[in-house]
Structure 1
Amino acid sequence: MADPSEQRWLEALWGKSASRGGGRRNLLLAHMLDTAAVAECLWDRFLAPVTRRSVDEIAGGPGKGRPFFAWLCGVHDCGKAVPAFQFVDEDCARLVWDAGLQWDRHRVARQPWRHDKAGAALLRRCLPQAGWPVEQIDWVWPLVAGHHGTFPGRDALYLRPAALRAVQGASAEWLRAQEVLLRVFTEQLGYRTVAEVAPVEVPNRALQLQLAGLVVMADWIASNTTVFEGLDELAKTGIEQSRRRADRAWRELGLRGGWGTRPVPGPEAFRDRFGQDMRPAQAMIVDVARRMPDPGLMVFEAPMGEGKTKAALLAAEILAARFGADGVFVGMPTQATCDPMFSEVRGWVAATEPGLEGQVALLHGKRRLNKQWRALLEATGEAPMDDYCVPEDDAQYGMVATEEDSGAPDRLVPAEWFLGSKRGLLCPFVVGTIDQLLFAATRTKHVMLRMAGLIGKVVILDEVHACDVYMSQFLEEGLRWLGQARVPVVLLSATLPPEQRERLINAYVSAHVQPSTPEPVHPPRGYPSVTAVSVGSDGNVREPIVEHTGSWRPDQHVRVSVVDETPHQGRTAADDAENAVADLIADRLREGGCALVIRNTVDRAQATYRMLARRFGRDQVGLLHGRLHAGDRAERTEDNLGRFGPDPAKRVPPGTRWILVATSLAEQSFDVDADLLVTDLAPIDLLLQRIGRLHRHNLAHRPTPLKTPEVVVTGLCRRGAKPPWLVRQSIAIYGEYLLLRSAALVIEAEGGQWRVPSQVPELVAAVYDGKPLSVPRAWVEAEHAAYVDYQRRQEERIANAEPFRLARRGEEHSGTLEGLHVGAHREGLGEQQFQALVRDGAPSVEVVLVHEGDRGYSTLSGRRLGVNGDVAAELLDEILAATVRLPQSLTTSAEENLRPLPGWHGHPWLRHTKALVLHNGRSDVLGKTVTYDSTLGLVVNPR
């Protein structure tokens, strides 16, 4: 291995002290070899086939990628072989000193020098001496410098010469010891020289970022002292020993990958997976997935209820098999839409490979409230781990080992290691909010782990039209990186503005176009449609595929009506407006039926509910919004899915009325069939989403007055030739410009009809294309002023997102990851802070409601808790069901004033949960009076 003096150095240099190594000092060489052996496990049992092919190409051909990948992961800690690191533990430092590796104690103590930067400096000295080409060194050293989560610039590696010599080691002994460590480590992996390791191709930055994430993953697994005990004897250190340790660790941690290499599903696959035949639009996207010449981006636009998600799953399966992806990420617009999708994806994955459904993870901040996820987790015998409740300290390398074998067919959730902080996207199959992808496009710590979890998968994003201009900055940034890595992506939307479609496509292909101004892709000429662009291995963008077909059901002719809402300041005028809505509903539902009333804010929904409940009685009116606690919301959602559903046994009986007042949460993935829709004015794409809840199923019987689908638009007041008055709360949410242009279409159509779905693209384009609308001349000035304000706000929001984008403007074609995190903000963010970062808003806070009375704490239903709020196992569901999200206006006060109950400390599900304690049904601790009404939900009033 080495001569006697070199052996003394290798036996003295340590990677982990006894206090950090599970009770025994761990040799630096041992940890580097352990990490390399873990990397070999990753290669054999986790990496997607496409990733292995890419690394083979980087390393020089088939068979060369595996040892290079192991070397790249293992070399990450070479920077620990410097005085600045070796002196920090007194006991370990004495052994190093006695081996002849010494330092100036005063200078080393004064000059901080992190081992990640030291490793980069060491490689920048040693690799040129070994004969590595400069262009290969330039992309490798940032991976070592960034393995603790951030990529520094080259300037961060430079200290004044005297200081650098002190902390890095400038004596002949230190220089030789560093070279010996690198040489012996390299030889252990089967290379004859360090020069032989040199790659032959420079990967693009997206692949570099993926490799950086995999380096971190290998390091964290190998740093888990539960499965890698300290090894302090050089004689017992070697790659074969490390391979045995890594194999045992892999099995004990229960780690595994996804599909691996598999055949392309045949024509019968859709029926096998979902038990039904394909509709024309579904067959279209599946066919395009089979015909795409290379990996790329597919935009699938189809009406609500067309079955886009099922078709996208099969398309993803085809793309994965054709192009070597190993799993799927499904990004949904909201946490609420994730939960049913989690169940659907588990069923689909099980149909592709029985038992593999246990590798599907649910990834969002409220997953602890999902009963299915909790039941699966608890049945596996593992503790809950959530991104927002795990310390950001990157010393949290791993969870405890389990006794599950990696191939165990009865595993119900992915390995616990995957469920820790920042690792969720590394699971083979993931269902989460779109925020998870947006996080991966931010310049935040350990972003490489998130991106490594996406590259190698097929990415499906549902309802992408819901991304506003701020979120779109991160969506487009994410697509740039995914496009550069040639990751197959499927985007789904029912109402996608043409300009947004073009931006998303351009973002995906921009890394392959010089300059990054791609040729425009002609828009589809029909609806439903698929637009597909792909990128060849040569980096050239292929000819796009643009196709359309007919919907599986004929157009509905939706009657458009308007109920003017009198501009009001006082309560009387507001009541008059609500009475007008009540009169219309009473007329339309005179023979019974179901009406859905959508308001843009919770306050308006609560006010409308009060009025309608007084008019029709509480037994005929329901309320659904985001300020209900989780239990109420789930119960009411399920109840209304039945009342508005196609099953006659559950639907509202003939001759009776049911009116549901809801907020905008009813416009997405809410599978109901309303006989009548009453809605506040919203931008046209969202208005059409709401119309998608109207006459959704072919029911055998509808009341005669409701035979024709009708949308009744409120929240505005026509004023002759003047622009309409718009509700202030709606303007605050959506802005005046889009509302004015949407109002123009509504007013023009009033008394007439819209053809849905065939007219959807035309209506959306009319609002978003910026061309003049046929509105009264008196509108023009107001519309122009609104447009100027709209543009100003759009530019402000784009500018607000810029500091947090993963790559700065102009860096898209940079060759390496050097300096990626220079100037980065907001490290150490939790789930709620991340959501605020990518959604341009103050972080909101979720709390659990509990009562406190003379006899202590109790649940909302009155069941007693322990003296300190301790929760018995049989009460946990009830406590978690009392979770409610506070309005943003209360966030700061909640962060300052609310804490978990004393009895919740240490509880696996509640230890990070804030309690809002109600006394006699109310709380005044947040600066306002907050009550929870069993009917209205959370009500916030000034004191």
Structure 2
Amino acid sequence: ASYHLLVYHCLDVAAVGSLLLDPEKKLCQSLARQLELEPDWLQQWFTFCLMLHDVGKFARCFQNKVTGLSSELVPEVTGKKDIRHDSLGFTLWTNELCKLISDIIPSQKTQRSVHPWLEIVCGHHGKPPQPLRTVKTALVPEEDIPAAESFLREIAKHWLPDLTPLSSINKEGFKKSSWQLAGVAVLADWLGSDQSIFHYNSDIQPLPEYWKQTALPKAKEVLSKREFQPKAITPFRSIQDQFDFIRQPTPLQQFAQSVEIRQNPQLFILEDVTGAGKTEAAMVLVHRLLSQGLAEGLYVGLPTMATANGMYDRLKNSYRSLFQGSPKPSLVLAHGASQLSEDFQESIQLEDQQSDQTYAAGDQTASAYCNQWLADSRKKALLADVGVGTIDQVLLAVLPARHQSLRMLGLKGKVLLLDEVHAYDSYMRELLAALLQAHASQGGSVILLSATLPHQFRKALLDAYLKGRGLELESLPATKAYPLVSQACDQGFAEKQLSTRDSVKRQVKVKRLGDPAEAIELIIRSIEQGCCICWIRNTIGDARSAWQQLDDDPRIDSAKLTLFHSRFSMIDRQTIEGDVLKRFGKESGPEQRMGQVLIATQVVEQSLDLDFDSMISDLAPIDLLIQRAGRLQRHNRDVAGKRLENDQPDQRLTPCFYLLSPDPLQVHSDQWLKSVLPRIQGVYSHVGQLWLTARLLLEKQGFAMPEDARDLIEGVYGVKAQTDIPEQLQKASDDALAKDNARKNMGEFNCLKLESGYNWKSGGPANGWDEDTHIPTRLNEVETETIVIAVPDDNGHLHPLANTGNPKHFWRLSLLQLPVHEWEKASLLIPDDWSVEIERIKQQYPYLKYFQILPLVAETKHLYQSQGGWDLDRKPCGRRERSLPHY
């Protein structure tokens, strides 16, 4: 058939929704408890509502979006206002239809109680319908309204349940449940539009007959095909069942195996040193929560794409041990560049579907969304049994972004595991608190991992979760206990101090370097001694400057010098990251490590398991320095750099962490920091806390982990410590605090007003519902532009910079993020002659129209080199380019 009858599509979607809300499933039972309804009635009522989800499509203005399909369809009309069918449908119900069926629903009070349910199902395109004053300007009233009324009466005759329970619904429970019900509506619409199963059908038959013979069987088929069957959980026995490489559990892992798991949602915060096995301990808790029926799946959120890739790598071989039998559980990687992960691409199979015509700009068909959903792991991950991705994907659940309700639905029934929670700024922390509250309110459990957390932040996290459970933590006394596990549930709150195994205890000396020249000389000495060393710089400009200075030094073998920062194309970054892991990673040996030098920015701070003999760092906040120091002599080795087995003690010299910093005892003006690190305040603006960090580390001349963990964190972030900041640095510190508060307030402003329920006004004061790509999960200091680097051939055609790996990814692997102001300067260097070829490329590859294209031609090729990355200040006659090593 060339078209699908509207009434059939309405029943297709309702059939899928009916099965998603099977009264035997936990989702329906949980929502029914919250609403104080019987699960059977909830299924019947919401199925009826879903039959009306596309009632706005009875409007002639919608039917005429595609004309000429058949003479039997509605004839064309002109001059009608084009209104989105979701908003049109809701207003059609509230302003017209409910008045016409007073014989079916006689009570005006009952009619009004139906309104919010129709608002939910009409919001099936990912955001609530926008209120309209009238719909008649968009209708042919004498034909469109009777057609919609006729359909409503027909489905009411066969599927409308007794409406008496509507009056007993818990109002607060409804507001909470509305977000998940909206997600069910979105998902049902997508799955009910899967044209590989719900084929176009224009044969006329009675609706009950179509429901029984086609809609319900096809709905069962689509749920089976899309793997929405519940999975059986493997009973928990021991950590070794999931991680066979663990011989002796760490104290934290042993705690995870033995702690009492209450029969209600709970929050765990695990704080321990690097190498204590936090991830494995968390997965033990996940397994035990699943085993006790407190969850059915897992989402793991991490701060960066690199950390998400690393976690995906760790879980891909162990996650199936959580489940048993068939069907197999699904594992999905979720971030903006997941399509570039070959491991992930090999694990999924996508299929092409027929595409409907798009309705209008920003208003795609459900089939188009279904296609995108199958291909877009970011949205699908939260519905998979196990999802791994960036924190951004779950933060979008509490922002007024299209399809947030689908994310909220996906989180329901899952354990939310978040790693590196100390890495978020005040804006993201505000979103995180809203997320914890929302997840707790819908009965979810949470596990948070961090090396260390400031007391105030830990309390804010606990308060947010308990608030979602309707509870309150009266006080949280400061503690020096570390490692520490915090556990909160309906029965109360508990803390437990743990011990640390000897092999991960660390004693680190700290010495100050007062000038970058001292760092250069230290690197030379390390090379002469056959050691490997890393210098972490706070800005790309400083990293580039140090790398160039070392590259120009005749005492340095350039083949043993590596620069790593974020201004590399994706292909070069992947190559460098692999190279860095081989030179400095866990499995590296003396032949890879000897005399190697890495100059890097924060890209090595969290995401990579690296091990250096010696380390230099620019001054940074204390928690980040602790994180950086975790890469110093991370794995036990002999003096030559060979790995030692069975927890043998490290044979290298006592690790020394060199800190490039001005002297904290010599503060004579507000220029104290800039005298040594002139660019640092563009990255870390709180000068006072940087001063506290330097003073603390240099007074102690080092630190021991875990003994000093609390003193280090509270000595910088504690309320009392702030009174020690020198007067000369107070203004800059106050400015930084004001900026932090502004970001916090922006986070609060942007969050959904979840307590209002699923409606247009819940988007906040600005009613800011928008595409998820437009709603910020992070506030960037500098506006960025995504560019694609292209290289010309002899015939004047442009090709992607990337030319290794999977050819279908070459253009995406050539992407690079730049500050807008740098791109604007660079774009002026591109000769006008290339504009035609650039336009041809964008026509050939439509997704490139969202990016800028930089051809590396004579006038621009100095801007980017595969080893140095992007450098707007590099002169056209710069150094000879050296190729990157390949192993």
Q: TM-score, normalised by structure 1?
A: 0.79
1:23 maps to a residue whose letter is S
Aligned to 2:561: 621
Distance 1:890 1:457, change over 3 A: farther
CA contact (8 A) 1:33 1:242 kept: no
1:760-909 map, 5 Å: 760-772=709-721, 780-807=726-753, 813-814=755-756, 817=759, 819-821=761-763, 823-824=765-766, 828-829=770-771, 831=773, 833-834=774-775, 836=776, 838-857=778-797, 875-876=807-808, 880-890=812-822, 902-903=840-841, 905=843, 907=845
Shift of 1:485: 1.0
CA contact (8 A) 1:151 1:820 kept: no
Larger mean CA deviation between 123-132 and 429-438 belongs to: 123-132
CA contact (8 A) 2:119 2:759 kept: yes
Distance 1:618 1:90, change over 3 A: closer
Distance 1:107 1:470, change over 3 A: closer
Structure 2 unmatched runs, 5+:
642-649, 876-887
Shift of 1:264: 6.3
In the alignment, does 2:352 pair up with 1:430?
A: no
Shift of 1:640: 2.4
2:653 maps to a residue whose letter is K
CA contact (8 A) 1:183 1:194 kept: no
In the alignment, does 2:307 pair up with 1:329?
A: no
Aligned to 1:729: 679
Shift of 1:922: 2.5
Q: What is the RMSD computed on CA atoms of the aligned residues?
A: 4.2
Aligned partner of residue 67 in structure 1, secondary structure = helix
Aligned to 2:659: 713
Shift of 1:861: 7.9
Distance 1:456 1:774, change over 3 A: closer
Aligned to 1:570: none
2:92 maps to a residue whose letter is A
CA distance in 1, matches of 2:80, 2:365: 31
Shift of 1:43: 3.6
In the alignment, does 2:525 pair up with 1:610?
A: no
1:906-921 map, 5 Å: 907=845, 914-920=852-858
Given candidates 40, 52, 65, the residue that maps to 1:75 is 52
CA contact (8 A) 1:118 1:157 kept: no
Shift of 1:689: 0.6
CA distance in 2, matches of 1:118, 1:179: 10
Aligned partner of residue 148 in structure 1, secondary structure = coil
Shift of 1:629: 2.5
Shift of 1:266: 2.1
Aligned to 1:573: none
1:535-614 map, 5 Å: 541-553=490-502, 555-565=505-515, 577=516, 579-588=517-526, 590-613=528-551, 614=553
Aligned to 2:880: none
CA contact (8 A) 2:176 2:755 kept: no
In the alignment, does 2:857 pair up with 1:938?
A: no
Shift of 1:319: 1.9
Larger mean CA deviation between 273-282 and 77-86 belongs to: 77-86
CA distance in 2, matches of 1:279, 1:352: 21
1:339 maps to a residue whose letter is N
1:55 maps to a residue whose letter is A
Given candidates 519, 522, 526, the residue that maps to 2:474 is 519
CA contact (8 A) 1:49 1:260 kept: no
CA contact (8 A) 2:563 2:600 kept: yes
CA contact (8 A) 1:259 1:326 kept: no
CA distance in 2, matches of 1:601, 1:466: 17
Aligned partner of residue 264 in structure 2, secondary structure = coil
In the alignment, does 2:268 pair up with 1:298?
A: yes
Shift of 1:207: 2.4
CA contact (8 A) 2:128 2:758 kept: no
Deviations 1:87-143 (A, max 9, x none): 888889998999xxxxx9999899997123323556765686368758954642431
CA distance in 1, matches of 2:320, 2:347: 15
Shift of 1:61: 2.8
CA distance in 1, matches of 2:825, 2:19: 48
CA contact (8 A) 1:57 1:201 kept: yes
Deviations 1:785-841 (A, max 9, x none): 23321221122223333442212xxxx64466462136546655464x44x553344
1:446-457 map, 5 Å: 446-457=403-414
Shift of 1:267: 2.6
CA distance in 1, matches of 2:595, 2:491: 55
1:708 maps to a residue whose letter is T
Larger mean CA deviation between 668-677 and 844-853 belongs to: 844-853
Aligned to 2:602: 664
Aligned to 1:215: 185
CA contact (8 A) 1:737 1:787 kept: yes
CA contact (8 A) 1:152 1:819 kept: no
Given candidates 363, 366, 371, the residue that maps to 2:334 is 363
CA distance in 2, matches of 1:650, 1:247: 63
In the alignment, does 2:488 pair up with 1:533?
A: yes
Aligned to 1:756: 705
Aligned to 1:314: 284
CA distance in 1, matches of 2:74, 2:546: 78
Shift of 1:879: 5.2
Distance 1:420 1:546, change over 3 A: closer
CA contact (8 A) 2:560 2:596 kept: yes
CA distance in 1, matches of 2:799, 2:590: 31
CA contact (8 A) 1:260 1:324 kept: no
Shift of 1:491: 1.3
Aligned to 1:637: 577
CA distance in 2, matches of 1:596, 1:77: 60
Aligned to 2:698: 747
CA contact (8 A) 1:77 1:116 kept: no
Larger mean CA deviation between 854-863 and 326-335 belongs to: 854-863
CA contact (8 A) 2:97 2:149 kept: no
1:465 maps to a residue whose letter is H
CA distance in 2, matches of 1:232, 1:383: 23
Distance 1:215 1:494, change over 3 A: same
Aligned to 1:441: 398
Deviations 1:229-248 (A, max 9, x none): 44455534226636634543
1:328-347 map, 5 Å: 328-347=298-317
In the alignment, does 2:358 pair up with 1:398?
A: no
Distance 1:940 1:150, change over 3 A: same
Aligned to 1:61: 38
Deviations 1:548-567 (A, max 9, x none): 211223531110110013xx
CA contact (8 A) 2:52 2:118 kept: no
Q: TM-score, normalised by structure 2?
A: 0.83
CA distance in 2, matches of 1:169, 1:547: 69
CA distance in 2, matches of 1:263, 1:182: 42
2:699 maps to a residue whose letter is E
CA distance in 2, matches of 1:132, 1:511: 31
CA distance in 1, matches of 2:202, 2:576: 61
CA distance in 2, matches of 1:217, 1:95: 31
Aligned partner of residue 76 in structure 1, secondary structure = coil
Distance 1:524 1:181, change over 3 A: farther
Aligned partner of residue 716 in structure 1, secondary structure = coil
1:767 maps to a residue whose letter is V
Deviations 1:375-416 (A, max 9, x none): 445xx354799xxx99984424236999xxxxxxxxxxxx96
Aligned partner of residue 628 in structure 2, secondary structure = helix
2:745 maps to a residue whose letter is A
Shift of 1:909: 8.0
CA contact (8 A) 1:24 1:230 kept: yes
CA distance in 2, matches of 1:48, 1:471: 34
Q: Percent identity?
A: 24
Aligned to 2:882: none
CA distance in 1, matches of 2:500, 2:624: 20
